[in-house]
Amino acid sequence: MNPQADPGGRLCVRNLSKRYGAVEAASGVSFEVDPGEIFGLLGPNGAGKTTVLECILGLRRPDSGEVLIGGSDRRAGVGALMQSGGLQDKVTPREALGLFASFYPDAAAPADLIERFGIGEKADEPFDSLSAGQRQRLFLAIAFVNNPSLLILDEPTAGLDANARRSLSSLVAGLRESGRAVILSTHDMEEAERLCDRIAIIDHGRIVASGSPAVLVAASRAPSRVDVRTERPLSEALARAIPGVTGFGVAGNACWVETRDAGGVVTALVRGLGAEGNALLEIRVRRPSLEDVFVEVTGRRWSEEGEGTGP
């Protein structure tokens, strides 16, 4: 497969397939990513996300399909942060950035990248002294050395603590404003829903659903769940009488109700409780999620997915 220039300036992946023996790691994968867009590849570990990214980068040769990337040089305009990054223990971030910058005629200034990605306090410290979050910031800075128009980020927040995840997620979100096209591979549902403009759910090497997070969730047939806590136990008769309730459960002063009309059910609950003189202490509405979408399009719970079937 020979990459070609796409005059529209966007990334186009068309009918990409890759097999390892009996395992089909990617099967007819197609999607497009525009400048200024964060596109998510969402799937459990082993679903084929990394294989697709490696084929885009030229690290693996696909069995069939094509990749079209805007510009005349496929790699000069691409930056990547992959899962298996590493540097020599004693190299400093400043030295590493200077080394990678020397590979490109129009590289970004290492000092600018150090400031942009918040690694100034560790700029002259050895790599083995950096925390996991600081290392990911450095790898993201390295991905920017060649001023790429396309960024490929493979599980960038995996293994980080909560603070480091939030910090790196904020940096990723800022890439949209820079006008770059971004592919974010993740198995984190919340991360995908929060960061991505569009998502492709990949399962066993195939894209089984795609669209914006809001559109995918809105199309879900899964009911909303309303959790209620009241001063006295909720009357089971009240729950049964509310139109649109498809399921419910009562345990002491707590109750849950399933419905596809959350607004109507909440209104009816509040009125019913008022009529009974029972005070409402807490109410929460859980809307359908990307996990519900995954269940619908694959027939399996997300938690049932282990390592999947392919790299």
Domain boundaries along the sequence of the chain: 4-77+148-218, 224-286
Tell me which of 86 and 35 has the higher pLDDT. 35
* pLDDT above 90: residue 85: no
Please report, to the nearest 10 degrees, the dihedral formed by the alpha carbons of residues 44, 161, 171, 115 taken in order. -140
CATH number of the structural domain 224-286: 3.30.70.2470
Q: What architecture (CATH level 2) is domain 4-77+148-218?
A: 3-Layer(aba) Sandwich (3.40)
Instruction: Give 175's Cβ-side CA count (13 Å radius).
Output: 31
Nearest-10 Cα torsion for 290, 54, 140, 103: -160
Confidence (pTM): 0.79
pLDDT at 3 over 90: no
Residue 6 has pLDDT above 80, yes or no: no
Please count the CA atoms within 13 angstroms of the CA of 148 that sit on its side-chain side: 28
User: Per residue in 12-68, pLDDT tens?
Assistant: 999 999 999 999 999 999 999 999 999 999 988 888 999 999 999 888 999 999 998
Q: Quick one: which of 214, 162, 161, 158 has its CA closest to 184?
A: 158
Whole-number Å distance between alpha carbons of 226 and 246 = 11
Looking at residue 303, the DSSP 8-state letter turns out to be: G
